[in-house]
Amino acid sequence: MSDDFPPLSLNVPEPGCRPGDTPDFSDFEIPRAGAVKRPPVDVEPDEIREMAFSIVRVLNKDGEAVGDWAGALTPEELREGLRHMLTLRAFDARMLIAQRQGKTSFYMQHLGEEAISCAFATALQPGDMNFPTYRQAGLLIAGGYPMLTMMNQIYSNAEDPLHGRQLPIMYSSKEHGFFSISGNLGTQFVQSVGWAMASAISGDTKIATGWIGDGSTAESDFHSAMVFASTYDAPVVLNIVNNQWAISTFQGIARGGVGTFAARGHGFGIASIRVDGNDYLAVHAVAKWAAERARRGYGPTLIEHVTYRAGGHSTSDDPSAYRDKNEAAAWPLGDPIERLKKHLITIGEWSEERHKQAEAEVMDTVIATQKKAEAIGTLGDGQAPSPRDMFEGVYETMPPHLIRQRQEAGY
Amino acid sequence: MATEILMPALSPTMEEGTLAKWLVKEGDTVNSGDIMAEIETDKATMEFEAVDEGIVGKILIAEGTEGVKVNTPIAVLVEEGESADDYQASGGASSDDSAPAEAPASDAPAAAAPEKATAQPAKVLEPDYPEGTEMVQTTVREAIRDAMAEEMRRDENVFLMGEEVAEYQGAYKVSQGLLDEFGSKRVIDTPITEHGFAGIATGAAFGGLRPIVEFMTFNFAMQAIDQIINSAAKTLYMSGGQMGAPMVFRGPNGAAARVGAQHSQDYAAWYMQIPGLKVAMPYSAADAKGLMKTAIRDNNPVIFLENEILYGRAFDVPKLDDYTVPFGKARIWREGSDVTIVSFGIGMQYALEAADKLAEDGVSAEVIDLRTLRPMDLPTVMESVKKTNRLVTVEEGWPQGSVGSYIASEVQREVFDYLDAPVMVCTGKDVPMPYAANLERHALITTDEVIEAVKQVTYR
């Protein structure tokens, strides 16, 4: 009987489009805006299984906010959100150029993904803790963290709040609910669940959010996080940012041939929702729903933010080597800033002129702040952190051998 | 005023690149953010954007030029009404002006280091190849790739897996061309889980294949270490010799430049401790090639520790159809009589630089490259110490439990009577690697510290 079996072969998933091919997202199913109903926050995960296969969308193609998830934000709040996204985009543009000028060694931009972290930030409360990856600086920008401090860290100058010890863009601010970013992928997804469980054990009302990319869901940490969040109903919102590409590896390599990333939650009995990551209103509404669910003790939510990384992975990446240059433009969910702008104009709360003016103001602020930071110093120029700082913080109290090494170094 | 546009450094370790294409021509007006040119390095192609506004007055480096050093002026921007001749006229004066502009780049250790290794052994003592063999200048990156390709041609059970190894040709472009030659069945892009793919590869090795696992850096292999040590290294022993893991775990190890605490650790001392593993940590391209071929053929799991800064360095590599270097045989790079300096991997750079400078002061240092840490060629070290009576070890890793402390312990036990001074162990500082350039320099071992150690043991 064994003679009847043909030889086995290995399946290696391939993306739909490589450089030179015509980008084609026609297989990508996009439900109408407003089609997905908003369930009560105490819903049983079993009752919303289909939400892991659909996409929560609020803004339709005419720029109107429709359906159950609309109406969470006032026009003033929406204009504020637009300004946060414009600021993040301008900040990225200037810092990218600064890296090319050698003022810092490394940078990662958010192009196309601005809505996710900016809209999420305003759904949280002071004291909540984010465990972000490297593409959620909108949590800081929208959370009021000083831009000058961010730049000082990027330039690793004497005013760097982390004293020259940590990589640029790997921000850290306990006060602003932004846990120190880890360069090692996935580690913080499971830590966010631990932080949330600690909040529950302490009888507090704070919640945690974990963040991970599509590629890193392959890491063991992702699966461990889901087990603990599920078993203990941890007050945590677990976010997967599916931006289609993990450097050169397309999302199908981590996901496999079938299902969605959100559907990974079903096996754990976790409420799982997909949301249009380029729709500021949808991200905010879903974030608010999940945050309330966690804070009221109804358990964790897994959110898959469906988006597209329009820029390179980092300043060390060249996307044209592995994906077609026209793919970003063909991405069917559009640009988050353009979509929110269109909505505000449609409801009579914004105009092309005001938008131009806002863009210019934001850029002026970024450039003025950049000048202040550069007056202090940039990587290799100006005032640098003191070598004294190098020996601090290894332990809470400096042990004698480090005091000796510091003295030998002349500090 | 005319502004020089300088060749940009697209990554901290970039030293030179090809100016592939100009997207502007002389006379064009450019605005901040406009794409001016495409620059190629051995890692990637990048678009280069204008920083300032202006008119392209003169293009100084033609497109297609290879080997353009970082910070070389490549074009001149002028303001309206100026001409490029103004730049020519002020050209003499601007050579002074450009000095401060170049200062930041000199902070990068990689930029300051020559691309071609200055220190080739004057004569290779006991070479691993026949006398008269033709030598070809090859980078460490190419040498490792060539070794893998040769072994994959030789044995169809050998395959490469890891993140970004196929389509992207490796995060550090070490697997260049391998996907084209061997196809996606033997050059496999994996999901992002070191723990996962180290386990998969260990299973494949148990299943009769000979995997090469690339870690984007050994820092990421910490989550795979259970598979490496508890399974790959110990299964042959635990299965009564029935099943082993003939495989290679390879990738960059140690500090590169500006990659901070989580991406700069040297794992030499960690892996060297494990029975069941073999550990290679080459310095030169010839050794990288010869040791990699030996590693792939070895029936035991081999940890192959590479270095990002060394990838771009060129060395003489013997032109042979099948060049291998045996494990457990150190190479004496330089003979000397006053002190023995033992190192491995990028530590050899400090050892050789120190030996050069010491020679100027009349100190004759013998420099030994261990090449493999397990097995370790201690007899060569002992013989040298019997001659010089003094020993200094050099590595980038941390002091407590270092490779050097093991060597010191063995040497004092075996040849105590020959020692005229305590063994000095030079290591990095006992802190996680800081990011800032000035702090990073302090944290790593330096050539001056090696010289200072030699002066202490020679009582100078």
Buried b (16+ CB within 10 A) or exposed e, A327-351: bbeebebbbbbebbbbbbeeeeebe
Helix (H) or strand (E) holding B241: none
CB contact under 8 A, A165 and B10: no
User: In A, which residues are within 8 Å of B190 by CB distance?
Assistant: 253
Helix (H) or strand (E) holding B57: strand B54-59
Candidates B36, B193, B194, partner chain A, best to mutate (most A CBs within 10 A):
B193
- Confirm if A119 and A99 have CB atoms less than 8 A apart: no
Residues of B labelled catalytic: 194, 263
User: In A, which residues are within 8 Å of B20 by CB distance?
Assistant: none
Mean pLDDT of B94-103: 33
CB contact under 8 A, A166 and B104: no
- The pLDDT of residue B2 is 75
Residue B29 tokens, joined: 């007006």
- The pLDDT of residue B43 is 64
CA atoms within 13 A on the CB side of B237: 11
Q: Which of B306, B175, B196, B194 is nearest to B250 (CA)?
A: B306
Distance in Å, alpha carbon of B95 to nearest chain A alpha carbon = 19
Q: What percent of chain B has pLDDT over 90?
A: 64
Give me the sign of the Cα torsion angle B251, B255, B256, B262. Answer: positive
CB contact under 8 A, B260 and A101: no
Least confident of B123-132, B211-220, B372-381: B123-132
Q: Which chain B residue shows the shortest CA-CA distance from A153?
A: B436
CB contact under 8 A, B258 and A167: yes
Mean pLDDT of A32-45: 97
Buried b (16+ CB within 10 A) or exposed e, A301-323: bbbbbbbbbbbbbbbbbbbeebb
Query: What is the spatial distance between Cα B75 and Cα B26, in angstroms, rounded to a whole number?
Result: 9
User: In B, which residues are within 8 Å of A165 by CB distance?
Assistant: 260-261, 432, 434-436, 439
User: In A, which residues are within 8 Å of B427 by CB distance?
Assistant: none
Distance in Å, alpha carbon of A191 to nearest chain B alpha carbon = 15
3-state secondary structure of B39: strand
pLDDT digits 0-9 by tens, A316-370: 888 888 899 899 999 999 999 999 999 999 999 999 999 999 999 999 999 999 9
Q: How far is CA A185 from CA A75, A221, B374, in A?
A: 37, 9, 30
Mean pLDDT of A75-94: 98
**Which B residues 204-233 touch A at CB under 8 Å?**
219-220, 222-223
- The pLDDT of residue A18 is 87
Distance in Å, alpha carbon of B26 to nearest chain A alpha carbon = 22
Q: Which chain B residue shows the shortest CA-CA distance from A90?
A: B33
Mean pLDDT of chain B: 88
Query: What is the spatial distance between Cα B445 and Cα B246, in angstroms, rounded to a whole number?
Result: 34
Helix axes B378-388, B403-415, angle to 10 degrees: 60
pLDDT digits 0-9 by tens, A104-159: 999 999 999 999 999 999 999 999 999 999 999 999 999 999 999 999 999 999 99
List the strands of the sheet with A129-131, edge to edge.
Answer: A129-131, A208-213, A236-242, A301-306, A271-276
pLDDT digits 0-9 by tens, B73-88: 888 888 777 665 555 4
Candidates A248, A313, A383, A407, partner chain B, best to mutate (most B CBs within 10 A):
A248
Using the predicted structure, report yes or no on whether residue B134 has a pLDDT greater than 50. yes
Q: How far is CA A316 from CA A180, A332, B38, B174, in A?
A: 22, 27, 14, 15
Query: What is the spatial distance between Cα A243 and Cα A255, in angstroms, rounded to a whole number?
Result: 13
Q: Which of B405, B361, B414 is nearest to B383 (CA)?
A: B414
Using the predicted structure, report yes or no on whether residue B91 has a pLDDT greater than 90. no
Mean pLDDT of A16-31: 89
Query: What is the spatial distance between Cα B174 and Cα B383, in angstroms, rounded to a whole number?
Result: 37
Q: Which chain B residue shows the shortest CA-CA distance from A386?
A: B439
Give me the sign of the Cα torsion angle B236, B238, B240, B242. Answer: negative
CB contact under 8 A, B49 and A184: no
- pLDDT class of B97 with cuts at 50, 70, 90: very low
CB contact under 8 A, A253 and B46: no
Least confident of A249-258, A295-304, B115-124, B289-298: B115-124
Candidates B263, B431, B446, B456, partner chain A, best to mutate (most A CBs within 10 A):
B431
Q: Which chain B residue shows the shortest CA-CA distance from A158?
A: B436
Residue A11 tokens, joined: 């399946």
Q: Which amino acid is at B63?
A: E
Query: ipTM surpassing 0.90, yes or no?
Result: no
Q: Which of B272, B206, B199 is nearest to B238 (CA)?
A: B206
Mean pLDDT of chain A: 94
Choose among B185, B195, B436: nearest Cβ to A385: B436
Residue A47 tokens, joined: 């009752």
Q: Which chain B residue shows the shortest CA-CA distance from A212?
A: B192
- pLDDT class of B36 with cuts at 50, 70, 90: confident
- The pLDDT of residue B123 is 56
Least confident of A66-70, A248-252, B211-215: A248-252
Q: Which of B337, B334, B329, B375 is nearest to B351 (CA)?
A: B334
pTM: 0.80
Angle subtended at Cα A240 by Cα A237 and Cα A244, rounded to the nearest 5 degrees: 165
**Which B residues 20-39 touch A at CB under 8 Å?**
32-33
3-state secondary structure of B372: strand
- Confirm if B101 and B9 have CB atoms less than 8 A apart: no
Strands B302-306 and B248-252: parallel
User: In B, which residues are within 8 Å of A186 by CB distance?
Assistant: 192
**Which B residues 420-449 touch A at CB under 8 Å?**
429-432, 434-439, 442-443
Q: Which of B160, B175, B141 is nearest to B288 (CA)?
A: B141
- pLDDT class of B115 with cuts at 50, 70, 90: very low
CB contact under 8 A, A248 and B9: no
Burial (0-12, 13-18, 19+ Cβ within 10 Å), B196:
middle
Helix (H) or strand (E) holding B283: none
User: In A, which residues are within 8 Å of B189 by CB distance?
Assistant: 12, 248-249, 253
